[in-house]
Amino acid sequence: MTTSRDRILNKLRSAPQPFTDVPPRESYRHLVPNVSAEGLTARFFSEAANLGCKVTQHDSAESAIKSILDIIVGEGFADLLSWSLDKIPLAGLAEALAAAKIHIITADVGKETAAQARVGLTGVSAALASTGSLILSSGAGQSRSASLLPPVHIAVVVQNQIVADFESWITAHPDFRRASNHVVISGASRTADIAMETVMGVHGPGEVYVVIV
């Protein structure tokens, strides 16, 4: 017995196809061509700045750490929601934060305590030169809340983490699905839903600092 469902599906299957079959692409034209590491860094710096990120570039870990402390201490903050410091590639960072009497909060303390932190500190999994975006992969010691909950986010980027685009990163990391999730951050949180006026920091950090080493 033919049901109404069968009749509808049979009619859809027999209808002319709206699109021709297109074979899958074997290659992609990247937004950023193959350039030197310095070229990728310059492009990322420019694109991230265009997104409203406050970007600084440093030639040593000491200089980068000083920049981070200037942001935290200069704003009068004392609590820091952070990735595990061994996940952030800056030698001497833990000692410098301790010397500055910065209180480190980790994600396992609970949402209410974590919400007290005004600054979040993370590393990154990659930085995309094409768009100035940051990729943060969650995992042990790498909580999402550090980049999403505080009003100020500081991201540490090592120069060799800067890649041309998202496709380049995916190609180089076929095991990317092993992470519980990936967050792609393109500047500070913003919305223009009301009266088409841009408001910063509504759904996440209103300020994003990118420290390139």
Residue 45 confidence (pLDDT) above 60: yes
**What six digits make up the tokens of 25?**
């692409």
- Domains in the chain: ranges and CATH: 35-186+206-212 (3.40.50.10420)
According to DSSP, the residues that pair with 155 across neighbouring strands are 122, 210
Q: Model confidence over 59-99: pLDDT tens digits? A: 999 999 999 999 988 767 778 899 999 999 999 999 999 99
Token pair in block for residue 153: 């986010």
pLDDT digits (tens, 9 = 90+) for 16-30: 777 677 777 777 666
What pLDDT shows up at residue 113?
Answer: 63
Residue recorded with tokens 């201490």: 73
Q: What is the predicted pLDDT for the residue at 139? A: 86
Instruction: For residue 66, give Cα distances in angstroms to 57, 62, 90.
Output: 12, 6, 11
Q: Please tell me the distance from the alpha carbon of residue 68 to that of residue 96, in angstroms, as a whole number.
A: 10
**pLDDT at residue 34, as a whole number:** 65
Residue ranges of E strands in 14-151: 54-57, 79-82, 103-105, 119-122, 126-128, 133-137
Neighbours of 39 (CB within 10 A): 15
The model carries a pTM of 0.80
CA atoms of 46 and 113, how far apart (whole Å): 36
- Sequence-distant (≥ 6) Cβ neighbours of residue 186 within 8 angstroms: 51, 131, 132, 133, 134
Q: What is the pLDDT of residues 143-198, one digit of tens each?
A: 888 888 888 999 999 999 999 999 889 888 888 888 888 999 998 876 656 666 65
Tokens 């980790």 identify what position?
A: 106
